[in-house]
């Protein structure tokens, strides 16, 4: 007698937790990168992924993981967020950040803050401690102080490398060079980093053991930005979005294009309404639509069922991912996994 065995394909086990991180996209080429600089970025990404994984591993929430990782980045001068942020044309650091909870669709965001050490925590406070979703400028900093978030002198965010980038950008644009900010250290030598486009925004998406996703993004925006310019990072649905119905996304790149395409929400909509896999949705929006519009940059994303994706159309993107039971992956260049 012939025994017929029916072999069902085992469903892919959903990881207990997962995290994906970016540290900005841009013209990041192997040929321009010194071994020391590359090692510094890889180490920072590894630390970030370890911080986030530790929160999730012990059962912490995706919101806590996102905030913890971004706070570390905001203190790391390698990245364009918090200390190390790029300068406006007027020589100021104006910081944008957002965070969103996929379980509740609650969100908080801030733009143009100049005194709050951790803009991501301020975004979270806007979400949790106010009736609002978005605050800007001096009002946002005043709210931060009122809820006890650490305030610093604006010169806290100053780095020589970003100042040199500003001077070069303004010179190229034929614009006047502003005086060095009050309280900035005397000019000193620094290690230039080959990132022509001055990106370096940070973002995190996480899935926790309760099945909830969250996303957060923090940035100084674009070098030599003018007139109170705000990028995509704090715009919910553009640079940051999270919903347990679809996915969580954090973006980096030329913000004006990400705003016009509502990149983060668009990726989630393709997952939610068209049933695309996360990677297909991300590639459709980044590789096809963003590229067609002339924008550049990328995203990291994940779904409540544990799919993780990244997609970028620039030569590189600092990025890392990890999931329960899987070794972390840390990558910079396009030809890496």
Report the interface residues with ligand ASP, using CB under 6 A.
24, 80, 199, 201, 219, 221-222, 231-233, 239, 252-253, 255, 297
The minimum distance between CB 222 and ligand ASP, in angstroms, equals: 5
Do 66 and 206 touch, CB atoms closer than 8 A? yes
Question: Closer CB to ligand ASP, residue 63 or residue 86?
Answer: 86
Catalytic residue among 88, 114, 201, 252: 201
Dihedral, CA of residue 106, residue 56, residue 301 and residue 120, to nearest 10: 50
Q: Which residue's entry shows tokens 């030599």? A: 224
Distance of CA 231 to the CA centre of its chain: 12
Quote the tokens at residue 34. Answer: 């010194």
Question: Closer CB to ligand ASP, residue 60 or residue 297?
Answer: 297
C-alpha–C-alpha distance, residues 122 and 110, integer Å: 7
- Residue 255 is given by DSSP the state H
Quote the tokens at residue 81. Answer: 């967020």
Question: Closer CB to ligand ASP, residue 237 or residue 297?
Answer: 297
Q: Which of 236, 285, 227, 282 is nearest to 259 (CA)?
A: 236
The minimum distance between CB 172 and ligand ASP, in angstroms, equals: 18
The minimum distance between CB 188 and ligand ASP, in angstroms, equals: 25
C-alpha–C-alpha distance, residues 328 and 20, integer Å: 10
The minimum distance between CB 73 and ligand ASP, in angstroms, equals: 12
Q: Which of 72, 62, 130, 55 is nearest to 101 (CA)?
A: 62
Q: Which residue's entry shows tokens 């715009």? A: 235
Whether 201 sits among the annotated catalytic residues: the reply is: yes
For residue 182, which phi and psi values (nearest 5 degrees)? Answer: -60, 135
C-alpha–C-alpha distance, residues 135 and 120, integer Å: 12
Quote the tokens at residue 104. Answer: 């509740």
The minimum distance between CB 200 and ligand ASP, in angstroms, equals: 6
N-terminal to C-terminal alpha carbon distance within the chain? 48
Q: Which of 326, 295, 327, 325 is nearest to 311 (CA)?
A: 295
C-alpha–C-alpha distance, residues 266 and 301, integer Å: 12
Give catalytic residue positions.
Answer: 201
């Amino acid at each position: 007698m012939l025994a017929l065995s029916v072999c069902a394909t085992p469903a892919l086990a959903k990881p207990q937790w997962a995290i994906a991180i970016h540290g900005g996209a841009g013209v990041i080429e192997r040929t321009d990168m010194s071994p020391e600089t590359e090692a510094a970025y890889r180490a920072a990404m590894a630390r970030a992924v370890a911080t986030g994984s530790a929160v999730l591993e012990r059962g912490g929430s995706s919101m806590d993981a996102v905030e913890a990782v971004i706070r570390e980045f905001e203190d790391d001068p390698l990245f364009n967020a918090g200390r190390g942020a790029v300068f406006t044309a007027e020589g100021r650091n104006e910081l944008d950040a957002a965070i969103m909870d996929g379980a509740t669709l609650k969100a908080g965001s801030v733009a143009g803050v100049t005194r709050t050490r951790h803009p991501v925590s301020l975004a979270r406070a806007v979400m949790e401690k106010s009736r609002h979703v978005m605050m800007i400028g001096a009002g946002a900093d005043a709210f931060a102080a009122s809820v006890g978030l650490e305030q610093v002198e604006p010169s806290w965010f100053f780095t020589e490398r970003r100042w040199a980038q500003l001077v070069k950008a303004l010179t190229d644009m034929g614009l006047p060079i502003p005086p060095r900010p009050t309280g900035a250290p005397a000019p000193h030598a620094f290690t230039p980093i080959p990132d022509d486009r001055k990106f370096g925004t940070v973002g995190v998406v996480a899935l926790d053991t309760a099945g909830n996703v969250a996303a957060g993004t923090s940035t100084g925006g674009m070098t030599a930005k003018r007139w109170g310019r705000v990028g995509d990072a704090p715009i919910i649905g553009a640079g940051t979005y999270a919903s347990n119905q679809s996915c969580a996304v954090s973006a980096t790149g030329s913000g004006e294009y990400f705003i016009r395409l509502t990149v983060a929400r668009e990726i989630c909509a393709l997952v939610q309404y068209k049933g695309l896999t996360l990677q297909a949705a991300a590639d459709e929006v980044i590789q096809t639509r963003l590229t067609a519009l002339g924008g550049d940059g990328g995203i990291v994303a994940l779904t409540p069922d544990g799919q993780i994706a990244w997609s970028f159309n620039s030569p590189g993107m600092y990025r890392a991912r990890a999931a329960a039971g899987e070794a972390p992956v840390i990558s910079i260049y396009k030809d890496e996994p």
